[in-house]
Amino acid sequence: MTDNDQNDTRKLSIISSKGSLDMAYPGLILGNAARMSGIEAHMFFTFWGLDIITKSKLNSLNVATVGNPSMHPWFHIPTFLGAIPGMSAAATWMMRREIDKLDFPPIGEFVEMIIDAGAHVYGCKMSMDMMKLTQDDLVDGAVVLGAMEFLELSEGGQVIFV
């Protein structure tokens, strides 16, 4: 491959900063779409977004009902009722049911599928240090990376913040 060929490669960098079930799928869907289209994909998980690639958490992500105004018209409840115990569990159950109808894979399987498709998956070093996470806490294939290194990798491509 020549330098010109490398410069012609489309590149997408996705930054995921939220770790709720409803915020995990947008970044994963975009990363998967990029790989299926032959686009180089770099996915950077920071702050609560690390839950999406943390082995002990990725299959138990929930939907946040408080502070999520878009959720309430879908769930047909006023914002203040989202704080009632059990509402998050009910919303998560409903969303998982809708996701199953669309035949999307569960988070863990989706992350594995994206990595197998050649996407580069990174855990933010600073966020990992702050949350006392190590490389062993992340899914196989994920790499710990600092923000400056991620910015270098992202140069010349599209960047999406989820």
Phi-psi region of 31 (alpha: psi -120 to 50; beta: other; left: phi over 0): alpha
Res. 12: pLDDT tops 70 = yes
Q: Which residues lie closer than 8 Å to 2 by C-beta, 6 or more apart? A: none
pLDDT tens for residues 69-120?
555 455 555 555 555 566 666 676 777 777 778 888 999 999 999 999 999 9
CA 138 – CA 144 distance, rounded (Å): 9
Asked whether the beta carbons of 126 and 147 are under 8 A apart, the reply is: yes
What pLDDT digit, counting tens, does each position of 64-81 carry? Answer: 765 555 554 555 555 555
Q: What is the mean pLDDT of residues 43-63?
A: 95
Domain architecture of the chain: domains with CATH: 11-161 (3.40.1260.10)
pLDDT at 22 over 90: no
Strand-strand pairing, 158-161 and 142-145 = unpaired
Average confidence score pLDDT of the chain: 86
Tell me the CB-side half-sphere exposure of residue 143, using CA atoms within 13 A.
Answer: 11
In this prediction the pTM is: 0.82
Question: What is the C-alpha radius of gyration for the chain, rounded to an integer number of angstroms?
Answer: 17
